[in-house]
Amino acid sequence: MRGLTQQKLLILFLFLLFSSSIFPYKKIKVFVIEAPETILDGVQRVAVLDFDSYDELGRNFSDYLISELLNSERGITEIKTGFLGLGEGKSGETFQEGAFTNVFGVVERSRMLEILEEQKLALSGLIDASQAAQVGQMLGVEAIIMGSISHTYNDNHTQEKRTYKDKDKKTQVKYVRCTERTVTVNVRARIVSVASGEIIGSKEASKSQKKKKCEPNYGSLPAIPEMANELARELCNDVANYIAPHFRLAEFEFEKIKNQAFKKQADQAAKLAEKLQIDDAYIIYQGIYRQDSYNPKVMYNIGILEEVVGNLSIAKRYYETAYQLKNKEKKYRQAVERINNNLDYLAALAELGVVLQGREWPSGETSAREKRVETKGNSEDRISVYSQANTASEVAARVPGGLSFKLLGREGDWYIIELLDGSTGYLPKKSVK
């Protein structure tokens, strides 16, 4: 009985291992730009003072922060590949042309030292906001970044049980001494306006790290300053993200197209996209789209490619149409919500000089600013589109309600539209919202 139960458990495990929930369909992993938490109006150049601390951590943190603010691709890191991320790493990529993260000029430390020495001030967060504004004016910056950083630690000494086999192969028990070290770093940053001397932004952040060692490696526990500096490096990104944009790793899973007429092509497109050969993937998906123009899965996949390259308005159109055709699909609704949030970010990024250029696909994607009309009704309705500007002409297509079409022109009470397959049709005015 016990062997039978184990066999069933093994079969269940193998089923789960090879099920689609464990192995999802093809994904694309790319870095996308994200706006900061706050916009510092009118600030183009900043100076970073040494953060106040009782050791070298304050100066180190300041150096880390300066380095991150000068990094044009902050946030782009190596990506782990393979099952559960256990494969080799590969360089991360972004396809959003015009995106960068070093939006501020940062004054050199040597220049700050010169000014502070002249004013008999310390290069630290100990100076007050009014003094910082005075220094900022001499440095020719619009804002000063200052603050404090501290760390605490705790060593917890315990004993842990170990079992081993003696020379007679009998199980023996012994206890070893262990130490678990916990280090916590807290940072408080303030951004001071040079023009007003007022604090125009503040950010608090905290991180902890635990390390444990047991005998016989008892003495190899990392030193407290080493752990604190590692945490400070991580925390400087929290402060940098507060005032400057950063890249974030985004992962998009494509829809699996099961229609036998297009399945092989769609699988090839998804594989190409996963390998970041996005132009080739786009051409294939567009070819399927021209033949199956009302397939929400194809629209959703094209929307993903448009989103990753920064063609956000075009991506929105594809996502919205997919959702209109299949409004019970949760991922389509989430895509529409996500793209609307991203479009809101564009205005904030533009204030920092970051303007996404978008991408011109090999197929020559049309502008998102084109004039469009939307059919009345919902996805369950079917609206007749005629081949000529009269109801006696042949019906060119029957399209769902609530869809948006490119407007080519007008002829009396008729709208001339471009259908999703690229052909032209006539839509009566009464059928338009």
* Spatial CB neighbours of 118, under 8 Å, sequence gap ≥ 6: none
Has residue 308 been placed in a domain? Answer: yes
- Do 158 and 275 lie in one domain? The reply is no
- Do 31 and 123 lie in one domain? The reply is yes
- Do 183 and 89 lie in one domain? The reply is yes
Q: Domain ends where: 248, 263, 281? A: 248
* Spatial CB neighbours of 420, under 8 Å, sequence gap ≥ 6: 289, 293, 294, 399, 405
What single-letter amino acid sits at 264? Answer: K
- Do 201 and 242 lie in one domain? The reply is yes
* Contact present, 169 and 73 (Cβ < 8 Å): no
Q: Domain ends where: 248, 264, 297? A: 248
Q: 27, 100, 79, 391: which is closest to 247 by C-alpha?
A: 100
Indicate the DSSP class of residue 49: P
* Separation CA 245–CA 383 (nearest Å): 45
Q: 62, 181, 196: which is closest to 122 by C-alpha?
A: 62
Q: 167, 135, 157, 152: which is closest to 49 by C-alpha?
A: 135
What single-letter amino acid sits at 23? Answer: F
**DSSP 3-state assignment of 282?**
helix
- Do 391 and 277 lie in one domain? The reply is no
- List C-alpha distances in Å: 56 to 113, 269, 300, 421: 17, 53, 52, 65
Cα dihedral 340, 306, 286, 80 in deg (nearest 10): -120
- Do 104 and 49 lie in one domain? The reply is yes
* Separation CA 107–CA 116 (nearest Å): 13
* Separation CA 15–CA 127 (nearest Å): 64
Q: Domain ends where: 318, 351, 384? A: 351
Has residue 270 been placed in a domain? Answer: yes
- The CATH number linked to 217 is 3.40.50.10610
Domain extent for 414: 372-431
Provide the pLDDT for residue 120: 63
- Do 109 and 244 lie in one domain? The reply is yes
- State the distance between the two ends of the chain, measured CA to CA, in whole angstroms: 68
- Do 133 and 40 lie in one domain? The reply is yes
Has residue 179 been placed in a domain? Answer: yes
Mean pLDDT of successive 10-residue stretches along the chain, which has 433 residues: 55 52 80 94 92 92 95 89 54 91 90 72 60 82 94 94 88 91 97 92 96 82 94 96 96 94 92 93 91 92 96 95 92 95 89 90 54 82 90 89 83 88 88 89
Helical (H) or strand (E) element with 290: helix 278-291
- Do 60 and 98 lie in one domain? The reply is yes
Structural domain count, the chain: 3
Q: Is-above-0.85 flag for pTM?
A: no
* Separation CA 159–CA 175 (nearest Å): 6
What single-letter amino acid sits at 27? Answer: K
* Separation CA 420–CA 292 (nearest Å): 9
Query: Is the backbone peptide bond immediately before 216 cis, with ω within 30 degrees of 0?
Result: yes
* Contact present, 270 and 277 (Cβ < 8 Å): no
| Angle (CA) 274 278 283, round 5° | 120
